[in-house]
Amino acid sequence: MNLLRQLVAIRSSYPDEEKISIFLIRHLRAIGFRVETQTVARGRTNILAAKGCGKRSVLFYGHMDTVPLTNRSGWHTDPCTLTQKGNRLYGLGAYDMKGGMSAFLSACEGTSAYVKVFLAVDEENISEGAWKAVNGRKAFFRDVSLIISAEPNFELGLHGITTGRTGRCVFDVKFVGVPAHLAAYTAGKDAIGMLAKFVSRLYRERGTMFAGTRTVLQVRKITGESVGMSVCGEASLEVEVLLDAKTSVAAVRRVLLGFGATQVSLKERNTPYLTGYQFDQFPNMRDIGKIIQQATGRSMRVHTRTSVGDDNVLATLGIPVITWGPDGGNAHAPDEYVLRRSISALTGMYKKLLKCL
């Protein structure tokens, strides 16, 4: 667990991934990888590494950034010190996703297989690192037959393989009312009141408005203010949507307008919104199934997950992407932890897979 301990000790909340990238470049070279780098922004560097040679390779993916440490007081351990309590290893990023990274890096140490590693910045933000890599370094991915993401398995277990994910987008939603003096509020139309009715209906009906799909919505930001003793004339909010493949952006927009919004538009961002993907088959599927059965005593199960990440970006290459990561808990929350036994088991399974190549 020494590698995981070193990774957790390096603060790498986006956009401050410089120290961990320097450490990982040195580590990869030390265990025999040829390392390329790609500058995403000043102090922010993607890592693309290869070991061995051959016609086709397997690629392990990991992201170097963590979410910001916003609530240190909520931690019962030092978030930047890997702390073991029973089978749990606590630390910021231990589960998402330094634990998975340490597993595949350890598995790659002694292998002679042709294997690649892609380590990205900015996954916890808007995937600037992944998008720059798939657009600017296509040659690196050209001979990759399978991408294995070591992201957390979120209670799917070590036998659970994610082969599909939803997409994601964010809408700007605006409410325009009619200002009036508070003493004569009935003469106006309160934009905050309009917004409040919208939010109430959205949360009341969001579980059924897209029946039979994995589409999930939430309000992520609200802005509105009255001026002086006046009824509020304008208010706005942002709605975050995880999009099932059966639900279009246009369909969600129509629903939001139907709930009383004045204007609905996609929120501008520097990278494209992530679309959903699904791979029904993937290379080495039979080998991975046997490895999982032997290690866990359970049959491999494949899943489609209601979540998004750099896996979605990598899927745009047309290369099968599977998410196969460790057990743990409290991702993006105080007292984040990864299970020690799952790291050991996952490392062993990755090693067996590399022997099959």
Report the candidate in 275, 282, 352, 357 with the shortest Cα–Cα distance to residue 323.
Answer: 282
The DSSP line for 21-90 is HHHHHHHHHHTT-EEEEEEEETTEEEEEEEES--S-EEEEEEE--B-----GGG-SS-TTS-EEETTEEE
| CATH number of the domain located at residue range(s) 167-266 in this protein | 3.30.70.360
Pairing between strand 144-149 and 321-323?
parallel
| CATH number of the domain located at residue range(s) 2-166+276-356 in this protein | 3.40.630.10
Question: Which amino acid is present at 126?
Answer: I
Answer for the pair 49, 34: CB distance below 8 angstroms, yes or no.
yes
d(CA 305, CA 180): 47
Task: Please give the model's pTM, rounded to 2 decimal places.
Answer: 0.93
Alpha-carbon distances of 177 from 188, 202, 260, rounded to whole Å: 7, 19, 11
Main-chain dihedrals φ then ψ at residue 122, nearest 5 degrees: 75, 15
d(CA 284, CA 291): 11
d(CA 334, CA 310): 23
Return the SS3 of 240: strand
- CATH 3.40.630.10 domain position(s) in the chain: 2-166+276-356
Answer for the pair 328, 339: CB distance below 8 angstroms, yes or no.
yes
Q: Return the H-helix or E-strand segment holding 223.
A: strand 216-224
* DSSP letter assigned to residue 189: B
Give me the sheet containing 263-266, strands edge to edge.
216-224, 234-243, 167-176, 263-266
Main-chain dihedrals φ then ψ at residue 39, nearest 5 degrees: -75, 125
Could you tell me which residues come within 8 angstroms of residue 168 by beta carbon, excluding any fewer than 6 positions away?
240, 241, 242, 243, 273, 274, 308, 312
pLDDT tens per residue, the chain (357 residues)? 899 999 999 999 999 999 999 999 999 999 999 999 999 999 999 999 999 999 999 999 999 999 999 888 899 999 999 999 999 999 999 999 999 999 999 999 999 999 999 999 999 999 999 999 999 999 999 999 999 999 999 999 999 999 999 999 999 999 999 999 999 999 999 999 999 999 999 999 998 988 777 899 999 999 999 988 999 999 999 999 999 988 899 999 999 999 999 999 999 999 999 999 999 999 999 999 999 999 999 999 999 999 999 999 999 999 999 999 999 999 999 999 999 999 999 999 999 999 998
- CATH 3.30.70.360 domain position(s) in the chain: 167-266
Q: How far is CA 345 from the centre of its chain?
A: 23
Report the candidate in 300, 297, 352 with the shortest Cα–Cα distance to residue 323.
Answer: 300
d(CA 320, CA 281): 8
